[in-house]
Chain A
């Protein structure tokens, strides 16, 4: 077994990672104070969504895939509808496109705020949970709850309900809101903008370990807007591709210790980073100048390479989403119809949208009757899994003199930098450190 910290084998096990979505574990193998192995084990059973989509009508994909995740169902719905519309040669524009963006804003606000306040902030402030944190920081937690509620309200209005919304469809929505309904959100969003601004300032006061990394960031980039539903897939290493080219540049691989596929970048099977930090780094110039100023005031440059500071980036994205939601509402003019009719057409459709945790890729092949013949879904956590392991390989050696409990604590924090969603990745955490 382990000696104090001076060498030999140390075995640290986390059988079940807390404050992440789904079931997973982490294993660290340390020999004579050298980290030999890192495994992020996802043992939540695979759910075979791609398999059950085969044989279903193309219009069912948004409602089936939204069940993959209770935190980011809008992302699944949006990637699905865009992929099906791509297959059928249809583009949804105007007010319907704007409503989709508003819908996505709701999910970003709700999901990011849950992570910032309830899941990640306790790590920085030394609490085991948000409940314990709330006793000493009640105003912060109240602020988080109020902000999250605003995101929920948008999802409720646009989706019919906040969990597994039911209103999105291929071609638009089953029902488009009246202008008066959106106006009802305006006062809440104005208050939420103040709360979001306070959130950025608050996250900037947290203490962050020094851990700057040379990441390959991958995200969407759009001609003139911060990306949500559309754009080209780009990286900071020169990648710039259409969504239909995704499979030529990325590959899902099976690893024997995980029920979730690891997605790597070709050639060379390299890890890459998707999510708020990637979006921000690749699209800083797409943020409004006053939001850029807020980010700078919080100590962020145009690129953030310290994953622990992702909590600030998420807060900036919440501010962006609230501001964008207000823009959509103020400019809203109801569409003539809540959807455009999409006739099936044999072919393959591709789409990637920006889920709160990062790029979410869908590919479907359908026949002339609109029956799904093949489906492929690559969620952000699958893409970040190898990156999380790489972060741990670099971060754990910096704290080898710490106790096993401390290593476990900071390792879990490093994992939560990615707001991993294991349920998505199995379509994740237990920590096990084997130290000798």
Chain B
């Protein structure tokens, strides 16, 4: 099945521990999905984020979050119907991050028709390139979940 107008966006910073979670998931999906789905890594800059999903039918956002929950906990939001909690905005500049980008896009009628968010509670956001064990474990579950949701499992490279 081809999902030409679907975009998976992994948000984060590759060099800040668990903040790399979204980037790693997007990268691994890009390797699995042949060319049927566009998977990109993104630093979360709001204007650029809104720009990159313009005209896209279906968007999946993946990001590490810091809400105080147990590390590795997976949060799911249908952003076409729900807002992201403000506490997911800790690692952004000028208090203007992913939740604001989503809400600004909603206010401007620039939100993709289908847009979901998968967030995983991070454990450590210190400098480094390693995911903590809880997020390494969550990574496979999130990848499987996205593949299932996109009905792409049969297209995965062996």
Contact = CB atoms under 8 A, between A and B. Distances in A.
A162 B100 contact: no
A138 B107 contact: yes
Given A130-B100, A131-B100, A19 B43 contact: no
Contacts of B103: 131
A163 B45 contact: yes
B141 interface: no
A152 B47 contact: yes
A118 B45 contact: no
Contacts of B95: 18-21
A141 B104 contact: yes
Contact of A134 (B48, B94, B96, B108): B108
B154 interface: no
Interface string B83-122: 0000000000111100010011001110000000000000
Contact of B50 (A20, A71, A132, A145): A145
A114 B43 CA distance: 16
A179 interface: no
A296 interface: no
B107 A118 contact: no
A135 B93 contact: no
A71 B47 contact: no
Contact of A118 (B51, B94, B109): B94
A249 to B, nearest CB: 31
Interface string B24-67: 00000000000000000001010110110000000000000000
Interface in A27-74: 70-71
A132 B108 CA distance: 10
A282 interface: no
A23 B158 CA distance: 49
B93 A141 contact: no
B96 A114 contact: yes
B100 A129 contact: yes
Given A129-B100, A134-B107, A141-B108, A119 B94 contact: yes
Contacts of A145: 47, 50-51, 104
A20 B43 CA distance: 20
A149 B43 CA distance: 14
A21 B45 contact: no
B96 A142 contact: no
A242 to B, nearest CB: 33
A277 B94 CA distance: 21
Contacts of B43: 161-163
B91 to A, nearest CB: 10
A140 to B, nearest CB: 11
B44 to A, nearest CB: 8
Given A20-B95, A161-B43, A131 B48 contact: no
A162 B108 contact: no
Contacts of A162: 43, 45, 48
Nearest to A130: B104
B143 to A, nearest CB: 25
A296 to B, nearest CB: 30
Nearest to B50: A145
A132 B103 CA distance: 9
A130 B104 CA distance: 7
Contact of A149 (B47, B93, B107): B47
Nearest to A148: B47
Contacts of B50: 145
B104 A149 contact: no
A387 to B, nearest CB: 20
A202 B19 CA distance: 38
A144 to B, nearest CB: 8
B111 to A, nearest CB: 12
A299 B107 CA distance: 32
B127 to A, nearest CB: 9
B106 to A, nearest CB: 8
A71 B107 contact: no
A427 B48 CA distance: 26
B101 to A, nearest CB: 10
Interface string A129-159: 1111011001001100100110010000000
A135 B107 contact: yes
B51 A149 contact: yes
Contacts of A21: 93-95
5 contacts: A21-B95, A134-B104, A134-B107, A161-B43, A163-B43
Interface of A: 18-21, 70-71, 114-115, 118-119, 129-132, 134-135, 138, 141-142, 145, 148-149, 152, 161-163, 423
Interface of B: 43, 45, 47-48, 50-51, 93-96, 100, 103-104, 107-109
